[in-house]
Amino acid sequence: MASHDIRERSTQPDPRLLEAVRLLRAGRTEPALSLLSAVAARASAVGPAHALQLEALIARGKRAEAASALDAACTLPLTDAEAADALAFFARQLDRHELSRRFYQRSVELAPRNPTYWYNLATSERALGHLDLARDACARSLALDGNLRPALLLRSEISRATASANHVDELRQRLRVAGAGGEAMFLHYALGKELHELGEYDDAFAAFAQGAAARRRNLDYDVAHDETKLRRIAESYPEADAAPPAAPVGRHIFIIGLPRSGTTLTERILGGLDHVRSNNETDNFSTALLRASPATGGDVFARAARADSGLVAKEYEALANPDAFTGSIIEKLPFNYLYVGAILKAFPTAPIIWVRRNPIDSCFAMFRTLFAAAYPFSYDLDELARYYAAYERLRLHWVSLYGDRLTFIDYEDLVAGPDRIAPSLASRCGLAWSPRALDIASNRSASLTASAAQVRHGIYSTSSGIWRRYRQHLAPLVARLDELGIAHG
């Protein structure tokens, strides 16, 4: 629920809510929160004030206060479907995934003919690994609105296409009707995914390419800006701090690497060990770093490099561990490869696990994924190659500074020999190993990544070398990587 919805939801909105919206839009969060807290405290049922309060608290990084506000809302009657949907969204942001699912369930109970609410419930069920329930909710969504294109893509993502059960003909017919509009990208990616599983690789690539082109047309992006950004990060860290003396391994574990490179698999394995929790993918570290950076003195990269590392650690701890969990905490955000220098300044003994994958497989895995908002470089093969080269230059820079303080694992090695690689990885992180961690299909914790459905099927190696089935179509990517000096085997 966005703040602008309040005017539309009531013919007689509470003037205090309207004033809170005005204050929020003006950037005056604290007085807005005072108003919202007063309204929420006197409410007899969950309503817009609770959603706005949660939105503002989370935006300010006040996760502990947001969790308390959410718990308070749970004690009130919930009779408004939109409020239930909004609370579900914010519960998800607070990693309260089972609670989020219950709120989404409540929204469809209150408004059973709203297709978007059913779709939201389907995404929640998928995140928790309830794939049958996700399929059912997705089907209910599409029964109400057969043209809800994100639901059409989700339907393909949570089921494996077979010769006797697929939606290829239907998706092709929908594309003939849809034309080249922006939302056609959902249909292209759904079609590509199903054709890939049916072994029709030429047609699958055509679908992925059309989906990527549709997505790229809607983006205002220049890969040169990212190339400059990664170069400036390296320049801002010309040398490493002295290596720390021998000390226990830090309890904050960072898993990094490009998306679709195996970071989720690594996180699911380590997260299956005792006394380990994963926060999934958050911007907690970058938020802490920006808060601790000086306001003046060079560009954002130079200022971040001069951040007070003690304050960074304190801010990160507050964001990552508001409930004082005493075990190890995993942060699995691929983009944290940008912050390796800052991470090791704030947490000198933190394990950083860098997952790598064959460059062509890595690039192609990104190319055939429709991401929500991040990774704008992934929809054009030339831009993918250029970004990959810039990423590799930054990786080599971090290696030159920090060497064996970084732990590298190759996706191909991990899936080929998990019983050999994973125990060593756990040891590197200071974790007690248990073979049951390899049964990732039994890990019931939430997964919100592009691999959310795949990780429910256990560890498999069939994705290794998959680019070779598309060798002809990926020739321009291979040639560009060669030009840029990227070895790919």
Q: Which residues of 435-468 are buried (b: 16+ CB within 10 A; e: fewer)?
A: eebbebeebebbbbbbbbbbbbeebeeebbebbe
Interatomic CA distance for residues 54 and 207, integer angstroms: 40
Give residue 7's identity as a one-letter amino acid code: R
Q: How far apart are alpha carbons 184 and 187 in whole angstroms? A: 5
Tell me the average pLDDT across 314-338. 93
Report the range of poorest mean pLDDT among 40-44, 146-150, 224-228: 40-44
Angle at 384 between CA 381 and CA 389, to 5 degrees: 130
Token couple for 488: 């790919």
Contact 251, 327 (CB under 8 A): yes
Task: Give the other-Cβ count within 10 Å of 487's Cβ.
Answer: 8
State the average pLDDT over residues 78-88.
Answer: 96
The secondary element (H helix, E strand) that includes residue 126 is helix 115-127
| pLDDT tens by residue, 112-137 | 999 999 999 999 999 999 999 999 99
Average pLDDT over residues 26-43: 90
Show the tokens assigned to 358: 């064959």
Rounded CA separation 268/278 (Å): 8
Q: What is the mean pLDDT of residues 245-267?
A: 90
Q: What is the pLDDT of residues 475-485, one digit of tens each?
A: 999 999 999 99
What pLDDT does 242 receive? 75
Range 223-483 has CATH code 3.90.79.10: no
**Which tens digits make up the pLDDT trace of 391-450?**
999 999 999 999 989 999 999 999 999 999 999 999 999 999 999 999 988 877 777 776
Q: How many CB atoms lie within 10 A of CB 18?
A: 14
H helix or E strand, kind and range, residue 101: helix 97-110
Domain 1-112 in CATH 1.25.40.10? The answer is yes
Which of 17-26, 312-321, 335-344 has the lowest average pLDDT?
17-26
Which burial class, exposed, middle or buried, applies to 170 when counting CB atoms under 10 A from its CB (0-12, 13-18, 19+)?
A: middle
The mean pLDDT of 26-51, rounded to a whole number, is 91
Phi, psi of 424 (to 5 degrees): -65, -40
Of the CA atoms within 13 Å of residue 485, those in its CB half-sphere come to 5
Helix (H, G, I), strand (E, B) or coil at 210: helix
Residue 52 predicted with pLDDT over 60: yes
The per-residue pLDDT for 115 is 98
Q: Within 13 Å, how many C-alpha atoms sit on residue 346's CB side?
A: 30
Q: 229-240 burial, b if ≥16 CB within 10 A, otherwise e?
A: ebeebbebbeee
SS3 252: strand
Is residue 48 pLDDT above 60, yes or no? yes
Spell out the domain ranges in the chain: 1-112, 223-483
- Output the average pLDDT for the chain: 92
pTM comes to 0.92
Q: What is the mean pLDDT of residues 318-341?
A: 93
pLDDT tens digits along 282-315: 999 999 999 999 999 999 999 999 999 999 999 9
Inform me whether the pLDDT recorded for 7 exceeds 70.
no
Q: How far is the C-alpha of 99 from the C-alpha of 278, rounded, in Å? A: 17
Which tokens is 380 given? 């054009």
Mean pLDDT along residues 153-174: 96
